[in-house]
Amino acid sequence: MGRADFAAKITYKATGRRADELIKAFRNSYNPRIAVTVDMIATGTDVRPLECVFFMRSVRSRTYFEQMKGRGVRVISDDELRTVTPNASKDRYVLVDAVGVTETDLVDTQPLERRPTVPLERLMRRISFGSRDPDAISTVAARIARLERHLTDSERAELDQLAGMSLHDLARGIVEALDPDRQLDAARAATGKDEPDVDEIVAATRGLLDDAVAPLATNPELRDRLLELRRQQEQLIDATSADELIEASYSKDATARARETVESFERFIRENKDEITALEVLYSRAHRQRLTFGQIKELANEIAKPPRQWTPDRLWAAYEALDRSKVRGSGRRVLTDLVTLVRFALHEDDELVPFPERVAERYHAWLLQQENHGRAFTPEQLAWLERVRDTIASSLGVTREDMMGPPFAERGGLGKASELFGDQLDPLLDELTEVLSA
């Protein structure tokens, strides 16, 4: 290679060679030694020999900054590194900030503790019931790490024995399981594919989170002792919040009523699967017909009629009363939760999961898949995509007309969306609707 190969500009448009070929050369060959790029190797690209990250422009997104910074922390053996850089040994890497990125207040900040107002007891109870909400799990890791620093040696040894590992390792394992790159790697390892699909990434992520929180999920003694020590460390005086119901139990009559409701609902589905469009679509997925919000609303109106008078909240509570271990989520239900209620009643899903939570999981996996394909989005585009995600979670789909109203109108509406995504807007909306509401 000549001197011209020492550095390479890797973008989608500014090179005569394919970008993925240059990235491959940057990863595996002596040249190019320097890659100048805009976002293309920010995420989803593993360049373990990388020894220096040089910021030459501002980064407004905290998430993007952390992902770019993370490119340099990959571990690599000396033998493997020397196939790219002779006589080298990597035990650290250098970050050069030429524009003051590390000195600015970045937007999109997502701290480790993402549920600061939710009590630790409630968060750990959700984990024990099978919830794998990333925000709740991340918050538990943050609080465990903070508690560990204030423990005595004897208290720390007691908890380490209960957990089967140190609290430090427990918290670190949770944080690592939340790393999108590790989730993508796990999906690749499980499937043997370089480009796992959304469902495979979701399954791999679930496995990582299950393993990471296993000591908390399966050991009530550990959870109780953590809560006891936390109460000793912190004294909270709350003069404004309303009292919280800690536990509610069902009498035999209440359980019987719940069972009757569940059996009646499942019988109603069987008897009306050819009469109500939403049930027809959900009952026979072979048609691949897209379910609409109007069809779900029609179903909600039918089940609300006397003598049934069912609502998503009432049906959800009935299933929870019979087997709480298979039910995730708390609070009021949304109309689209009827989708998961019907799928659970048909035994298509093993868990009853709020529809918005399921959509969020699939969106996260879709983003990882896009990164794996080399498709990057700007922070402004990601903000729009998150609004598309939330609209699908509440309405089962999103169209150009939806972008003329809230929550899109306040950010420029359809005109701004067309400016950001160009001729990819319609295919992107169709793709997200198909993937997230599947």
Q: Average pLDDT of each block of 10 consecutive residues along the chain (438 residues)?
A: 67 57 78 74 66 78 65 73 79 80 57 73 90 88 86 88 91 87 88 88 92 93 90 59 61 80 93 89 68 90 87 93 85 88 90 92 93 89 92 90 86 90 92 88
Q: What pTM was computed for the model?
A: 0.59
Q: What is the pLDDT of residue 287?
A: 46
Nearest to 293 by CA among 433, 403, 387: 433
Residues 424, 51: Cα–Cα separation, whole Å: 36
Domain 3-103: CATH superfamily is P-loop containing nucleotide triphosphate hydrolases (3.40.50.300)
**Type of residue found at 134:** P
Give the residue extent of every domain in the chain.
Answer: 3-103, 120-233, 252-353, 357-436
DSSP structure class, residue 162: H
Task: Look up residue 124 and give its two tokens.
Answer: 């750990």
CB atoms within 10 A of CB 13: 5
Residues 400, 412: Cα–Cα separation, whole Å: 13
26, 55 contact by CB (below 8 A): no
Q: What is the pLDDT of residue 113?
A: 64
Nearest to 85 by CA among 29, 25, 4, 8: 29
Look at strands 7-10 and 94-97 and give their pairing. unpaired
